[in-house]
């Protein structure tokens, strides 16, 4: 060690953090906490929104099943309901609301899995086509409508 410093004071200076370092270290930590809190609030809001979507879909299920049984609506290749005949205003509203809620679910699943919502919807359409009750009109990937046997 050269010069006027003693060995002990040089070691003490090496162990002491530079002035202001606590502020620099704390700022990212505070930012991390704030970002985590925002993410938690967004997740909670999203979970609450999805719970509301699920409840609406459950409440709407009898009306959707009625439309499917009457073949006035079918399950399309995009994972949504599609009118196959002229619908009464209340039935058209049911189809529109169901599709909006399905799209919200597909978007949430896509975001969670890092996928495209359209891909999630197509995959769901394939599942619906396989599991739909006999008599349901389903759209094949090529666009053709058939009655599920």
pLDDT in tens, 45-99: 477 788 999 999 999 999 999 999 999 999 999 999 999 999 999 999 999 999 9
DSSP H or E segment with residue 9: helix 7-15
Q: State the Cα–Cα distance between residues 130 and 148, nearest whole angstrom.
A: 9
Claim: this prediction has a pTM higher than 0.85: no
Q: Which residues pair with 138 in a beta bridge?
A: 75, 146
pLDDT digits (tens, 9 = 90+) for 127-141: 999 999 999 999 999
Q: Is residue 9 part of a domain?
A: no
Lowest mean pLDDT among 13-27, 36-50, 85-99: 13-27
Q: Is residue 11 part of a domain?
A: no
Residue 26 pLDDT exceeds 60: no
Q: State the Cα–Cα distance between residues 65 and 52, nearest whole angstrom.
A: 20
Give the contacts of 110 (CB within 8 A, at least 6 positions apart).
116, 117, 119, 120
Q: Is residue 137 part of a domain?
A: yes
Q: Is residue 127 part of a domain?
A: yes
Q: Is residue 133 part of a domain?
A: yes
Using alpha carbons, select from 57, 58, 42 the residue that is nearest to residue 104: 57
Domain encompassing residue 59: 18-147
The total of structural domains in the chain comes to 1
Q: Is residue 6 part of a domain?
A: no
Residue 4 pLDDT exceeds 60: no
Q: Quote the percentage of the chain above a pLDDT of 70.
A: 70
Residue 46 confidence (pLDDT): 72
Backbone angles phi, psi at 133, to 5 degrees: -65, 155
Q: Is residue 118 part of a domain?
A: yes
Distances (CA, A) of 77 to 49, 84, 118, 128: 25, 14, 11, 9
**In the numeric block, which tokens belong to residue 48?**
């609450």
């Amino acid at each position: 060690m050269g010069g006027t410093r003693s060995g002990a004071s040089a070691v003490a200076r090496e162990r002491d953090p530079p002035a202001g370092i606590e502020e620099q270290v704390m700022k990212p930590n505070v930012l991390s906490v704030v970002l985590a809190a925002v993410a938690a609030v967004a997740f909670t809001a999203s979970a609450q929104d999805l719970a509301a979507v699920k409840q609406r879909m459950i409440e709407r299920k009898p009306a959707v099943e009625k439309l499917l049984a009457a073949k006035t609506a079918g399950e399309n290749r995009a994972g949504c309901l599609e009118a196959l005949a002229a619908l009464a205003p209340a039935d058209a509203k049911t189809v529109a609301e169901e599709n909006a809620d399905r799209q919200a679910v597909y978007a949430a699943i896509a975001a969670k899995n890092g996928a495209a919502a359209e891909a999630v919807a197509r995959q769901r359409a394939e599942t619906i086509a396989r599991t739909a009750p006999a008599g349901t009109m389903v759209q094949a990937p090529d666009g053709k409508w058939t009655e599920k046997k």
